[in-house]
């Protein structure tokens, strides 16, 4: 299963998104900027979806997304959310592993 060490450091997300997969669930973690041009705020956006397709090739209605603050506390909250998301849709993720 996914471990805290698998979640990249914050500096990584300043450059690019990180994707991974676990037991039929794919996930993507990325930094986004929200707000007005003169008052932008960085956040971590985390998305999960069933394999086999990439983020770009998966229908939005199959994706589940949430956001966290762009700091260590937000980064540490990602793992529990990923594990909870997996448990909520375990049947779906296990079914795509059998295909």
**Structure confidence by residue, pLDDT tens digits, 25-84:** 999 999 999 999 889 999 999 999 999 999 999 999 999 999 999 999 999 999 999 999
pLDDT band at 1 (very low <50, low <70, confident <90, very high): confident
Give residue 99's pLDDT. Answer: 67
Closest CA to 43 of 21, 71, 64: 71
Closest CA to 7 of 87, 75, 92: 75
pLDDT band at 19 (very low <50, low <70, confident <90, very high): very high
Range of the domain at 39: 4-97
The tokens for 97 are 């592993």
- Total domains, the chain: 1
CA angle 94, 62, 71 (to 5 degrees): 95
Residue with tokens 């260590």: 72
98 pLDDT higher than 80: no
Q: What is the C-alpha separation between 70 and 6, in angstroms, rounded?
A: 17
């Amino acid at each position: 299963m996914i471990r805290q060490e698998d979640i990249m450091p914050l500096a990584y997300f300043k450059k690019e998104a990180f994707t991974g997969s676990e037991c039929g669930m794919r996930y993507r973690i990325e930094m986004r900027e929200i707000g007005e041009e003169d008052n932008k705020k960085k956040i971590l956006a985390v998305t999960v979806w069933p394999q086999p397709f990439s983020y770009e090739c998966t229908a939005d209605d199959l994706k589940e997304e949430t956001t966290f603050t762009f700091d260590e506390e937000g980064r540490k909250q990602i793992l529990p959310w990923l594990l909870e998301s997996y448990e909520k849709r375990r049947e779906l993720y296990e079914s795509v592993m059998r295909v």
